Amino acid sequence: MNKILKSKSILKAFLIAAITFSCSTDDNEDIAIPPSGATFDAELFVSEEGGDMRSVTVSADGSTGAEITSKVAFKTITNNMRRLYITEEVNGGAPEPFVFTSQEVDEKPDGSLDLVGDDKKDFEFQINLPAPMAEGESIVYTFWATTGRGDFRDVSKRNAIDATALGTITVNYGTPTIGSGINEFTTIILAAPLADGTSETFLSLYNSTVYKISEGEETAALWDFGYYYGASGLASLASTRDYPDSVINVPTISGVADAELNEAFFSLSTTTSAEFDAIALSSDLDFIAASTNQRVTTLNTGDIVEIVDNYGKKGLIRVDAITPGNGTDGQITLTIKIQL
């Protein structure tokens, strides 16, 4: 499905499009749905019954501030839908949670959209989606519904329809260019853990965000690894799944079962700092092989660590600085290059 997007029609229609639901309940309230006969730049329909439209592509003209108007509909037979996950990929970059700016919605702490109501087997949204504004730019929006807390990097987790059920709306301006296929995170500072969980100790490679241990079940699924300063191992990194219980028991303090925490595999690399700096493409990291170690210890400034995350993405971590010890002063500073 392809359409040509005209910016004038965008700005006239649905300047502030309310998110609306169509739900089937025994005590159904008068819930508004998109007006009959309304037209949209993109219409997405994901259904357990089939006969749906899961992939839609439209073209934008690059107008500043332009948006496309979309209708997003989901329908299930078996399971109730509790959350809607939406990501955006800009110019071939890593998918990130879509953040609503012009519409007020009920977002959960992990960035997913809370579906209100008792029976959630059928809903429709009107959503304004920003369009690219320059030649060669592209934005891909991905949607999927879950029966509970899902995972922005794993469409299959608690997917309400099946392990691969999702919809995409691609908005192009001209011919999209291809990115490098890697993310680079600089000056990532992880603090030594504090017993009360208030230290910013865990990192998500998905969004480069550093999280406090106490931030709990809504964000723990995003964490990939954390920092600690061991009695004998000194400066150390460990996957969220294998983080030492003697330091912080992550399942207990986060409320997330051990089986749902992310694994990550580490090994010290022979890569030099100059070689690290020269890495520019995803293929430059293909040489990395996953180890069986989910911890790496006795780190020193200048060390480079190979990592393969829970989703098979390969990367390198450079240790830029270490402030030894535990407590409020202990920390490690990292630069990371990881495949998208």
Which is more confident, 62 or 192?
Answer: 192
Coarse DSSP helix, strand, coil percentages of the chain, rounded to the nearest 5 percent: 10, 35, 55
Query: 287-308 burial, b if ≥16 CB within 10 A, otherwise e?
Result: ebebeeebbbbebeeebbbbbb
Residue 275 is predicted with a pLDDT of 95
- Are 5 and 58 in contact by the 8 Å Cβ rule? The answer is yes
Residue 14 has pLDDT above 70, yes or no: no
Token pair of 247 as six digits: 């330091």
Confidence of residue 64 (pLDDT cuts 50, 70, 90): low
Q: What is the pLDDT of residue 321?
A: 96
Per-residue pLDDT at 178: 67
CB 57 within 8 A of CB 1: yes
Q: Return d(Cα 22, Cα 7) in angstroms, integer.
A: 28
Instruction: Fill in the amino acid letter for 328.
Output: T
| Whether pLDDT at 140 is above 70 | yes
- Region 155-166: what's the mean pLDDT? 92
Beta-carbon count within 10 A of 93 CB: 17
At residue 74, the 3 state secondary structure works out as: strand
Q: Residue 34's pLDDT is what?
A: 56
Task: Provide the mean pLDDT of the chain.
Answer: 83
CB 172 within 8 A of CB 162: no
> Does the structure show a pLDDT above 90 at 216?
no
Contacts of 74 (CB under 8 A, 6+ apart): 45, 46, 47, 81, 84, 122, 123, 143, 145, 160, 161, 167
Residue 29, pLDDT > 70, answer no
Give residue 155's pLDDT band: very low, low, confident or very high (50, 70, 90): very high
Segment 83-136, tens digit of pLDDT: 999 999 988 888 889 887 655 567 788 889 888 766 689 888 888 899 888 877
Q: 120: which residues sit within 8 A by CB, 6+ positions away?
A: 23, 76, 80, 81, 82
* Alpha carbon 120 to chain centroid, angstroms: 24
Q: How far apart, in Å, are the Cα atoms of 231 and each of 200, 234, 307?
A: 20, 6, 23
Q: Which pLDDT does position 252 carry in this prediction?
A: 86
Mean pLDDT of 300-325: 96
Percent of the chain residues past pLDDT 90, beyond the cut: 46
Pairing outcome for strands 167-172 and 138-146: antiparallel
- Indicate the pLDDT class of residue 50, thresholds 50, 70 and 90: confident
- Short-list 340, 284, 277, 285, CA closest to 91: 340
Written as six digits, the tokens of 121 are: 């087997």
